[in-house]
Amino acid sequence: MWGSQLVEHFRSWAKEKGAVQLRVTAYTANTDAIRFYQRHGFAALETTLAVDI
Protein backbone atom coordinates (compact mmCIF):
# COMPACT_ATOMS: atom_id res chain seq x y z
CA MET A 1 0.00 0.00 0.00
CA TRP A 2 2.80 2.46 0.83
CA GLY A 3 4.39 1.83 -2.54
CA SER A 4 1.10 2.51 -4.30
CA GLN A 5 0.65 5.77 -2.41
CA LEU A 6 4.19 6.80 -3.30
CA VAL A 7 3.63 6.12 -6.99
CA GLU A 8 0.37 8.06 -7.03
CA HIS A 9 1.88 10.99 -5.12
CA PHE A 10 4.86 11.10 -7.48
CA ARG A 11 2.53 10.89 -10.51
CA SER A 12 0.52 13.89 -9.25
CA TRP A 13 3.63 15.89 -8.37
CA ALA A 14 5.27 15.19 -11.74
CA LYS A 15 2.11 16.15 -13.62
CA GLU A 16 1.93 19.45 -11.70
CA LYS A 17 5.53 20.12 -12.74
CA GLY A 18 4.69 19.56 -16.41
CA ALA A 19 6.00 16.04 -16.90
CA VAL A 20 4.25 14.05 -19.61
CA GLN A 21 5.78 10.64 -18.93
CA LEU A 22 7.12 8.64 -15.99
CA ARG A 23 9.73 5.91 -16.37
CA VAL A 24 10.97 3.29 -13.94
CA THR A 25 13.70 0.70 -14.19
CA ALA A 26 13.55 -2.81 -12.75
CA TYR A 27 15.75 -5.85 -13.21
CA THR A 28 14.10 -8.50 -15.38
CA ALA A 29 14.45 -11.02 -12.56
CA ASN A 30 12.52 -8.73 -10.20
CA THR A 31 9.11 -9.96 -11.29
CA ASP A 32 7.41 -8.58 -8.17
CA ALA A 33 8.53 -5.05 -9.03
CA ILE A 34 7.50 -5.45 -12.66
CA ARG A 35 4.02 -6.65 -11.66
CA PHE A 36 3.76 -3.78 -9.16
CA TYR A 37 4.52 -1.16 -11.81
CA GLN A 38 2.25 -2.83 -14.36
CA ARG A 39 -0.61 -2.60 -11.86
CA HIS A 40 0.00 1.15 -11.87
CA GLY A 41 -0.22 1.43 -15.64
CA PHE A 42 3.45 1.18 -16.57
CA ALA A 43 4.19 -0.87 -19.71
CA ALA A 44 7.39 -2.24 -21.20
CA LEU A 45 9.17 0.32 -23.36
CA GLU A 46 12.45 -1.31 -24.28
CA THR A 47 14.68 -4.27 -23.45
CA THR A 48 18.38 -4.00 -22.73
CA LEU A 49 20.56 -7.10 -22.90
CA ALA A 50 24.01 -7.36 -21.29
CA VAL A 51 26.88 -9.78 -20.93
CA ASP A 52 29.96 -9.71 -18.71
CA ILE A 53 33.24 -9.94 -20.66
Which DSSP string corresponds to the chain?
-HHHHHHHHHHHHHHHTT---------TT-HHHHHHHHHTT------------
In a domain, 28, yes or no: yes
Q: What was the pLDDT predicted at 50?
A: 93
CB 5 within 8 A of CB 27: no
Q: Using CA atoms, how far apart are residues 40 and 12, in angstroms rounded to an integer?
A: 13
CB 22 within 8 A of CB 42: yes
Q: What was the pLDDT predicted at 18?
A: 98
pLDDT tens sequence across 1-53: 799 999 999 999 999 999 999 999 999 999 999 999 999 999 999 999 999 99
Number of domains in the chain: 1
In a domain, 47, yes or no: no
In a domain, 53, yes or no: no
Identify the domain containing residue 21 by its residue range. 2-39
Q: What was the pLDDT predicted at 1?
A: 78
